[in-house]
Structure 1
């Protein structure tokens, strides 16, 4: 039989309660029995002392033991008198031990003919400084009187009744406590089952601030992240199919037109087909680069490099293309900025950013590239002129296949993956890439890299 976590927790708490309850019951019973017997011993000792004092008075009055010989009723009368005159609320009426009265030579004057126990209590009767007799009391190690025995049994019944009632209360309280403590765990289990079944909208309520509450918060964050990832995956697949469908449709239309004789298979039609194939090739290459950078499989051969030198090389390779669009390129760069990175990937980053500005900046505009170093960080800033993007577009500019309507379109040749690849490259170098609105009316891209001392 397999127990659930609720039953296990219930048994653990209940077993602990029962262990504590039984230990307390045993301790209370032992304390009561010992205390009760000690109480009886003290009472008997006091009575024996009282009897001794009474006999001393009688002996002083008569001068010998003749008054007691063959007169056992006198002792009973003295005992009865002490019981009637006893007003102490802490004592109990009645004698619980055997008594003997002996003379100085230890001859028996009063008492049972049974032999005197070796551990009996002896009280000397003195007259004029000498021992004239003894009062002997048998030891009281157990209860002998019916009243004492009935009192002890009553206490036992009461004690066991309390144990039974406490056990019942422990069962009820432990069960409620186990269910209450495990209620958040059960909600988490249900949420995990829903999440495992693909229901990424599953959430669990957070009612506490303890470890279970923090676990519920972490679960909700995980579910939110999985929901966003699922939405991104679906959007990504839709975007890929959309991006691939367009050039394929153009290729199919061109080939059908040539096949039907609508268009001739001349150099113009072949150039159109080649352009669409180039678009597909670039899209596939970008997807491959993005997938490698996402999983961290993009090859990085890190050395000490000069970011400014690599940037100068990239700008020089784009000068002619910027001049054709009459875009003015202004650079404000320091002499050098050493970093630890891959020169090829950093060049790919700079080329992608320059390509992005070249494609999406209107003719006759300008591009400003600035850099400065501070607190061990090199900050590179790209600012281009109109068209710009609004706040909503800025929040999604690094999403895959995302294009702002006014500036990013398929006719420009972009796949919408370049900035996503740039972000992965910068983060792989321990830096940060973010976008903002440019004062020139366009887009500002800021890349931050940790500096590294150049190799000697």
Structure 2
């Protein structure tokens, strides 16, 4: 079943349930109101009858003897038993005071002590009747009570006709409301699903590698938020696609260059144009080393991306690692004509992987050496904070544009010719360094150095464990 059909069924079902409850409540409210109306009407009848009975009680020397209410005379006077004295003056109460009191449900006359004076004490259908009571008082003294039992449901033809008419009106209103709701649902459902259909088409495009999405983002509801996220996803996938293509092109170029050199020199040797001597072998060795470094860097980067790099955390003397790596590369800086300085406090201990820290420092120092013009300066500054260590590696010119600082950690990123690779590196060192830093729970960033080149700032927590991930 399509979502539009499901939504339509849900809307209609919800409407039916709501209407059923509303109609049931309306019917119940009508019955309660009608029942209350009957009781109020009966209470008024009993009050009219009570005035007649109180007058008779008073004229009968404050006694209920010989007074009964099983029937009321046409004049409105209760029937008297034989021997009952007439009311003083010989005139009955005015007719308007007791009009229609003879017409009503079963009624009991009870004295002040709860004894039934007149009327039936029980009825076959008493469970289907209400009870209405009116107290009889004379000069503030309780002399008795009138109790009647009007039916809970209409018992006259007029009342039943009125009740049925109201029920039919309620049912008609319910049917009309249901039809109106159905028409409204048929009109609203497609409109509600229109953004969903647009989202569905865009998602289908994403699965087909069509990453350009142009969903409207001006909706203030959840659909608008979802559309904005899908547009962002499409742009991100498009950027990744372009990056992947560029990355493959760069890798192909990096691999092709040494292979082309090797192939050309081998052809020259085979043709007898160039002799196979120590100089030629050194050239071969240089290109093979270049290929080996590139393949190793690619391997390390791919392992890091898939989480394949293994880490063995232990207490490591970071100061010793930095000093050893600096000393091992000192001759390279001297050979290139660069001034190298290292400021590192002793006995800085952190929880880290010893081999990965050595690889990290090697990558940072080699990167600074490769991309610094001679004569130049490379400087390492290490500082200890309460919970983390800050390592700064900065060099002199050339520098980079501020907007390209974050891109330095992308594989094979090249800003312009001034900072392109000019040695055996493959341009992957900073990418691998970022992976190592993040695996240790730290962070790394690049900025313009005060020395005129690039400043790499790495922060490593002192007490990182794998449980922090």
Q: Normalized against structure 2, the TM-score is what?
A: 0.73
How far the C-alpha of 1:452 sits from its partner, in A, is: 4.0
2:461 paired with 1:450: yes
User: 1:383·1:443 contact (CA, 8 Å) conserved in 2?
Assistant: yes
**Whole-angstrom distance in 2 between the partners of 1:303 and 1:205:** 52
Match in the other structure for 1:251:
262
Aligned length: 412
Q: Cα gap change, 1:431/1:175 in structure 2, threshold over 3 Å: closer, same or farther?
A: same
Match in the other structure for 2:204:
193
Q: Cα gap change, 1:36/1:182 in structure 2, threshold over 3 Å: closer, same or farther?
A: farther
SS in 1 for 2:409: coil
**Whole-angstrom distance in 2 between the partners of 1:144 and 1:197:** 74
**Whole-angstrom distance in 2 between the partners of 1:419 and 1:286:** 10
2:14 paired with 1:13: yes
CA RMSD of aligned residues (A): 4.2
Match in the other structure for 2:287:
276
**Whole-angstrom distance in 1 between the partners of 2:321 and 2:376:** 24
Work out which of the residue numbers 286, 290, 293 in structure 1 matches 2:297. Answer: 286
Match in the other structure for 2:446:
435
Q: Cα gap change, 1:400/1:427 in structure 2, threshold over 3 Å: closer, same or farther?
A: same
User: 2:35·2:152 contact (CA, 8 Å) conserved in 1?
Assistant: no
Q: Cα gap change, 1:13/1:366 in structure 2, threshold over 3 Å: closer, same or farther?
A: same
1:307-456 → structure 2 map (5 Å cutoff): 307-452=318-463
How far the C-alpha of 1:400 sits from its partner, in A, is: 0.7
Work out which of the residue numbers 165, 168, 183 in structure 2 matches 1:157. Answer: 168
Match in the other structure for 1:237:
248
Match in the other structure for 1:296:
307
Match in the other structure for 1:41:
42
Q: Which moved more, 1:313-322 or 1:33-42?
A: 33-42
How far the C-alpha of 1:146 sits from its partner, in A, is: 3.8
Q: Which moved more, 1:274-283 or 1:215-224?
A: 215-224
**Whole-angstrom distance in 2 between the partners of 1:241 and 1:7:** 56
How far the C-alpha of 1:339 sits from its partner, in A, is: 0.9
Q: Cα gap change, 1:412/1:136 in structure 2, threshold over 3 Å: closer, same or farther?
A: closer
Q: Which moved more, 1:353-362 or 1:305-314?
A: 353-362
**Whole-angstrom distance in 2 between the partners of 1:352 and 1:365:** 19
User: 2:12·2:181 contact (CA, 8 Å) conserved in 1?
Assistant: no
Q: Tell me, which stretches of 5 or more residues in structure 1 are unaligned?
A: 66-71, 101-115, 124-134
User: 1:301·1:342 contact (CA, 8 Å) conserved in 2?
Assistant: yes
How far the C-alpha of 1:419 sits from its partner, in A, is: 0.8
Q: Which moved more, 1:426-435 or 1:205-214?
A: 205-214
User: 1:48·1:137 contact (CA, 8 Å) conserved in 2?
Assistant: no
User: 1:83·1:94 contact (CA, 8 Å) conserved in 2?
Assistant: no
Q: Cα gap change, 1:436/1:158 in structure 2, threshold over 3 Å: closer, same or farther?
A: same
Q: Normalized against structure 1, the TM-score is what?
A: 0.75
Q: Deviations over 1:82-130 (max 9, x none)?
A: 999589xxx9x89755899xxxxxxxxxxxxxxx976479x9xxxxxxx
**Whole-angstrom distance in 1 between the partners of 2:350 and 2:149:** 102
Q: Deviations over 1:182-208 (max 9, x none)?
A: 666555444433333323333654566
How far the C-alpha of 1:162 sits from its partner, in A, is: 2.8
Q: Cα gap change, 1:195/1:296 in structure 2, threshold over 3 Å: closer, same or farther?
A: same
How far the C-alpha of 1:240 sits from its partner, in A, is: 1.6
Q: Cα gap change, 1:39/1:158 in structure 2, threshold over 3 Å: closer, same or farther?
A: farther
How far the C-alpha of 1:294 sits from its partner, in A, is: 1.7
Q: Cα gap change, 1:140/1:274 in structure 2, threshold over 3 Å: closer, same or farther?
A: closer
Q: Cα gap change, 1:149/1:56 in structure 2, threshold over 3 Å: closer, same or farther?
A: farther
**Whole-angstrom distance in 2 between the partners of 1:159 and 1:429:** 72
SS in 1 for 2:395: strand
User: 1:119·1:139 contact (CA, 8 Å) conserved in 2?
Assistant: no
